[in-house]
C-alpha cells in the first residue's frame, strides 16, 4: 500500500492515516485524553496499540470546523498481528488459501520484505475497526468527565461512546489514486467487459464485490430470456402456445441459475479467502440495551434482555403492524382498480389517442405510490426492529429483512396476482406489469444515485466552494480530504440494492411469460444499475468498511423462495392458457388435477435438484478437504511426539 498522505505521530515518526474518528466538538478534554490513551496503550495493558493523532486543520480551516477529528493508523507489525487476530485468509506458497499467522508470514505468497503491501488498505482499515471495536473498558465505572456514561469491565468503549452520541462517526479514508484507477476500469471506460471484481473486493471488501458479482451474474443469466423475449414482442406472438413454452423455460431457468450462483459465489469466496474463514464471536449490537447481567456464553458482564419480552413485542406489536400495513396496501390496490375502471370508462366513451394515454395514468400513479409506501414502510420496519431490541446485529438484520420482504413482495405483486388469477385479464396484466416495472426502474435510478449526488454537490458547493474546483487536478491536503469525506453521505449497506434486484427477479420470474419484454427491460436496467451503483460507491458515499462475506447470505434464501413461488404461478398461468385448456375439453377438473400434479412434480424435482447439485465445486471441495486433512495430520503428529515423549519422563 502506497499512501502519499501521512501524519506525524507523537514520537515524531510518520504513519499512514487509515481511519477517521470524529467526536462531537464539545467533548470534554479528559474524555478525549482518556480515549486517545486507551487507543495508544499496549495490548498487554488492554489497549488497542494503534497510532492516533488529532487532525491539524489545513490552511482553509475555519472556526466552524469541528476540532475533534482524529486519524488512526498502525505500524505494519501491528497490522500483521491484527490480520492474524481477525482471521484473514491469504494465499499460501503452495497456492492454497490459509489463515494468516505472523509466525508463518514468510510462507505466504505475496509477503515480501517487511510485509509492506501484503495487506490491502481495505483490509488494514477493517483490522483497525476490529481493534477499535474490541477496545474494552477495564475498571473504569464511566467515561471520564461523563458520570452518566456508565462502563463495566468488558464493555466496548467505542460502542458505548457511539450509542451515547459523543462519537459522531468512525469511517475509513478513500485512497485517491486507487479510487481513480478503480473508477477507470470499472465505469469510466465504455467497453463491454466483466466487472473488475477482484479490484472491487480489494477496495471495498468481499461483501460489496459479491453484490456486484451477483448483479453481473443475474444480468448475464437474463440475457437468454431477453433474447427469447424480443421476437415474442416484435412479432406480437400473442398465441398462448408459445406463451406456455416461455413459462416452462422460466421454471427451469430460475432454478438452475440460483444453483449455479451458489457454486460461483463459493468459487469467488474461496479465491478471496472468506469461504472457510471462521466467523468471529458476535458482540451485542450498539443499540442493544437491558439490565446488566452475566452472559452465559462468555461469562462477561453484559446487558441482558428477556427473550419473552422480545417475543411479546414481536407478536403483539410488530406482527399486527405488518398485517395492518398489508391491509393498507390492499386498500390502495383497490383504489387503483377503481381508477383503472374509471380511466377505461373515459376511454370507452371517447376513444382518442389522449384517452388511450390516460389508460396508463392509473398504473403510473399506483407505481409511484407503491414506491413511496415501500420507502415509508422501510423506515417504520427499521424503527420497529430496533425497538424489538435484538441482541445481535445478525438477528436484527434477519428480522428486518423478513419484515421488509413480506411487505414489498405483497405491495409490488398483489395487484398482479389479483389481475392474473382473480380477474384473469391477460391484457391488463401485461399493461400493468410493464408500467409498474418501468416506473419503478426510473424512480429507483433517480432515488438511488442522482438524488444523493445532487444533494452532495449542493452541500459541497456551499461549504467548500473553492475546493471543488481544484479537487480534480491537484492533490488536496489531508485535512481537507478528511473534511470532504466526513461530509459525504454514509452508505447504509447492500440491503436496498439486493431488495431492488429481488423485486426485479420477481417481475421476471413470476409473470414475464405474459410480458416477455420484461427480461429485456431488466437487463437494460441492470446495465445502468451497474454504472450508477459503481458511481455512487466511488463518488457519492463515504468509503464503507469492508465486510468479509462468504455468500450473499439471507438473500440466497429469499431468491430461492421467490423461485418456488414462480413455479406455482407459472404452472397456474400454463393451466389457464386456452391451448392447454383445449386438451381437456370436457372436464375442467381433469385439467386442474393435471396441472397440480405437474406442479408437484416440478416442486419435487426442484428440491431434489437443490439437494443433488453440490453447493461447492469439486475442485474447491478437494482443496478444502486437503487443508483439513493436513491440519488433522499435523495434530496427530504432534500428539504422537508427545505420546512417545511423556511416558519416558513419567517412568
Q: Nearer to a copy of itself by C-beta: 109 or 600?
A: 600
Specify whether the CB–CB gap between 27 and 168 falls below 8 A: no
CA-CA distances (angstroms) from residue 579 to 238, 514, 574, 591, 637? 12, 14, 9, 12, 70
Q: What is the DSSP string of 211-280?
A: HHHHHHHHHHHHHHHHHHHHHHHHTT---HHHHHHHHHHHHHHHHHHHHHHHHHHHHHHHHTT-SSPPPP
**Residue 249's closest CA among 259, 261, 257?**
257
Taking the complex as a whole, the smallest distance from the CB of residue 385 to a copy of itself amounts, in Å, to: 17
Residue carrying C-alpha cell 396496501:
329
Taking the complex as a whole, the smallest distance from the CB of residue 247 to a copy of itself amounts, in Å, to: 18
Q: How far apart are CA 478 and CA 279, in angstroms?
A: 35
Q: Nearer to a copy of itself by C-beta: 47 or 61?
A: 47
Taking the complex as a whole, the smallest distance from the CB of residue 447 to a copy of itself amounts, in Å, to: 32
Q: Nearer to a copy of itself by C-beta: 509 or 526?
A: 509
Residue carrying C-alpha cell 501491528:
78
- For helices 240-271 and 588-612, the axis angle rounded to 10 degrees is 20
Taking the complex as a whole, the smallest distance from the CB of residue 297 to a copy of itself amounts, in Å, to: 5
Taking the complex as a whole, the smallest distance from the CB of residue 523 to a copy of itself amounts, in Å, to: 31
Q: Nearer to a copy of itself by C-beta: 113 or 296?
A: 296
| Cβ-proximal residues to 478 (8 Å cutoff; 6+ apart), any chain | 5, 7, 17, 55, 58, 71
Specify whether the CB–CB gap between 195 and 173 falls below 8 A: no
Q: Nearer to a copy of itself by C-beta: 86 or 447?
A: 86
Taking the complex as a whole, the smallest distance from the CB of residue 13 to a copy of itself amounts, in Å, to: 15
Q: How far apart are CA 499 and CA 520, in angstroms?
A: 19
Taking the complex as a whole, the smallest distance from the CB of residue 94 to a copy of itself amounts, in Å, to: 11
Taking the complex as a whole, the smallest distance from the CB of residue 374 to a copy of itself amounts, in Å, to: 23
Taking the complex as a whole, the smallest distance from the CB of residue 395 to a copy of itself amounts, in Å, to: 12
Task: Measure CA of the first residue to CA of the last residue in the chain; give whole Å.
Answer: 56
Specify whether the CB–CB gap between 72 and 50 falls below 8 A: yes
Q: Nearer to a copy of itself by C-beta: 33 or 280?
A: 280
If you compute the radius of gyration of the chain from its CA atoms, what whole number of angstroms results? 29
Residue carrying C-alpha cell 398465441:
239
Taking the complex as a whole, the smallest distance from the CB of residue 103 to a copy of itself amounts, in Å, to: 7
Cα dihedral 555, 560, 565, 571 sign = positive
Contact residues: a copy of itself, CB under 8 A: 42-44, 77, 81, 84-85, 102-103, 281, 296-299, 568, 588-589, 592-593, 596, 600, 622, 625-626, 628-629, 632, 636, 639-640, 642-644, 646-647
List phi, psi (to 5°) of 8: -90, 130
DSSP letter at 543 equals P
Q: Nearer to a copy of itself by C-beta: 3 or 136?
A: 136
Query: For 447, what's the count of Cα atoms within 13 Å in the CB-facing half-sphere?
Result: 14
Taking the complex as a whole, the smallest distance from the CB of residue 593 to a copy of itself amounts, in Å, to: 7
Q: Nearer to a copy of itself by C-beta: 245 or 564?
A: 564
**Residue 2's closest CA among 80, 174, 110, 117?**
117
Q: Nearer to a copy of itself by C-beta: 365 or 624?
A: 624
Q: Nearer to a copy of itself by C-beta: 190 or 650?
A: 650
Do the strands 167-172 and 19-23 form a parallel or antiparallel pair, or are they unpaired? antiparallel
**Residue 177's closest CA among 4, 413, 17?**
4
Q: How far apart are CA 222 and CA 226, in angstroms?
A: 6
Specify whether the CB–CB gap between 368 and 443 falls below 8 A: yes
Q: Nearer to a copy of itself by C-beta: 534 or 552?
A: 552
Q: Nearer to a copy of itself by C-beta: 398 or 460?
A: 398
Q: Nearer to a copy of itself by C-beta: 95 or 165?
A: 95
Q: How far apart are CA 435 and CA 362, in angstroms?
A: 9
Q: Nearer to a copy of itself by C-beta: 328 or 572?
A: 572
Taking the complex as a whole, the smallest distance from the CB of residue 626 to a copy of itself amounts, in Å, to: 5
Taking the complex as a whole, the smallest distance from the CB of residue 197 to a copy of itself amounts, in Å, to: 27
Query: For 188, what's the count of Cα atoms within 13 Å in the CB-facing half-sphere?
Result: 9
Taking the complex as a whole, the smallest distance from the CB of residue 647 to a copy of itself amounts, in Å, to: 7
Amino acid at each position: 500500500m502506497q499512501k502519499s498522505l501521512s501524519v506525524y505521530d507523537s514520537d515524531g515518526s510518520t504513519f499512514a492515516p487509515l481511519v477517521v474518528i470524529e467526536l462531537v466538538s464539545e467533548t470534554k478534554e479528559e474524555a478525549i485524553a482518556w480515549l486517545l490513551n486507551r487507543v495508544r496503550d499496549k495490548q498487554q495493558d488492554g489497549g488497542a496499540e494503534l497510532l492516533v493523532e488529532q487532525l491539524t486543520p489545513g490552511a482553509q480551516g475555519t472556526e466552524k470546523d469541528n476540532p475533534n477529528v482524529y486519524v488512526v493508523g498502525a505500524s505494519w507489525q501491528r497490522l500483521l498481528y491484527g490480520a492474524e487476530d481477525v482471521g484473514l485468509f491469504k494465499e499460501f506458497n503452495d497456492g492454497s488459501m490459509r489463515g494468516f499467522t505472523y509466525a508463518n508470514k514468510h510462507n505466504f505468497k505475496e509477503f515480501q520484505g517487511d510485509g509492506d503491501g501484503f495487506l490491502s488498505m481495505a483490509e488494514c482499515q477493517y483490522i483497525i475497526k476490529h481493534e477499535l471495536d474490541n477496545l474494552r473498558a477495564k475498571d473504569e465505572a464511566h467515561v471520564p468527565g461523563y458520570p452518566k456514561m456508565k462502563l463495566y469491565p468488558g464493555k466496548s468503549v467505542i460502542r458505548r461512546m457511539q450509542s451515547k452520541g459523543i462519537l459522531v462517526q468512525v469511517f475509513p479514508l478513500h485512497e485517491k489514486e486507487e479510487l481513480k484507477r478503480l473508477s477507470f476500469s470499472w465505469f469510466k471506460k465504455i467497453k463491454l467487459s466483466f466487472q473488475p471484481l477482484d479490484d472491487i473486493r480489494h477496495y471495498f471488501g468481499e461483501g460489496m464485490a459479491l453484490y456486484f458479482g451477483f448483479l453481473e451474474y443475474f444480468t448475464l443469466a437474463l440475457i437468454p430470456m431477453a433474447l427469447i423475449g424480443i421476437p415474442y414482442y416484435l412479432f406480437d406472438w400473442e398465441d398462448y402456445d408459445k406463451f406456455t413454452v416461455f413459462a416452462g423455460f422460466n421454471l427451469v431457468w430460475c432454478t438452475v441459475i440460483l444453483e449455479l450462483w451458489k457454486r460461483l459465489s463459493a468459487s469467488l469466496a474461496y479465491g478471496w479467502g472468506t469461504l472457510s474463514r471462521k466467523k468471529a464471536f458476535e458482540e451485542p449490537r450498539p443499540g442493544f440495551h437491558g439490565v446488566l447481567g452475566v452472559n452465559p456464553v462468555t461469562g462477561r458482564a453484559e446487558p441482558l434482555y428477556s427473550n419473552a419480552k422480545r417475543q411479546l413485542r414481536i407478536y403483539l406489536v410488530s406482527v399486527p403492524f405488518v398485517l395492518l400495513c398489508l391491509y393498507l396496501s390492499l386498500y390502495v390496490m383497490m383504489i387503483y382498480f377503481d381508477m383503472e375502471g374509471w380511466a377505461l370508462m373515459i376511454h370507452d366513451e371517447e376513444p382518442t389517442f389522449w384517452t388511450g394515454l390516460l389508460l396508463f395514468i392509473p398504473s403510473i400513479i399506483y407505481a409511484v405510490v407503491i414506491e413511496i409506501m415501500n420507502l415509508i414502510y422501510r423506515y417504520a420496519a427499521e424503527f420497529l426492529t430496533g425497538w424489538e431490541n435484538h441482541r445481535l446485529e445478525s438477528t436484527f438484520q434477519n428480522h428486518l429483512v423478513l419484515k421488509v420482504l413480506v411487505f414489498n413482495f405483497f405491495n409490488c405483486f398483489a395487484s398482479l396476482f389479483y389481475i392474473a388469477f382473480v380477474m384473469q385479464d391477460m391484457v391488463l396484466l401485461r399493461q400493468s406489469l410493464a408500467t409498474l416495472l418501468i416506473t419503478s426502474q426510473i424512480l429507483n435510478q433517480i432515488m438511488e444515485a442522482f438524488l444523493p449526488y445532487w444533494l452532495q454537490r449542493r452541500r459541497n458547493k456551499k461549504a467548500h466552494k473553492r475546493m471543488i474546483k481544484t479537487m480534480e487536478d491537484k492533490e488536496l491536503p489531508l485535512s481537507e480530504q478528511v473534511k470532504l469525506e466526513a461530509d459525504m453521505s454514509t452508505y447504509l449497506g447492500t440491503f436496498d440494492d439486493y431488495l431492488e434486484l429481488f423485486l426485479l427477479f420477481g417481475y421476471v420470474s413470476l409473470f414475464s411469460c405474459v410480458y416477455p419484454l420484461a427480461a429485456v427491460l431488466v437487463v437494460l436496467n441492470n446495465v445502468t444499475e451497474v454504472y450508477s451503483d459503481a458511481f455512487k460507491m466511488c463518488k457519492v458515499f463515504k468509503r464503507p468498511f469492508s465486510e468479509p462475506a462468504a455468500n450473499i447470505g439471507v438473500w440466497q434464501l429469499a431468491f430461492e423462495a421467490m423461485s418456488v413461488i414462480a413455479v406455482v404461478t407459472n404452472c397456474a398461468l400454463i393451466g389457464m392458457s386456452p391451448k392447454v385448456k383445449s386438451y381437456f375439453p370436457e372436464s375442467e377438473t381433469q385439467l386442474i388435477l393435471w396441472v397440480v400434479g405437474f406442479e408437484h412434480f416440478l416442486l419435487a424435482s426442484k428440491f431434489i435438484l437443490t439437494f443433488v447439485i453440490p453447493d461447492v465445486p469439486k475442485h474447491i471441495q478437494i482443496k478444502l478437504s486437503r487443508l483439513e486433512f493436513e491440519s488433522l495430520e499435523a495434530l496427530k503428529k504432534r500428539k504422537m511426539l508427545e505420546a512417545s515423549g511423556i511416558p519416558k519422563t513419567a517412568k
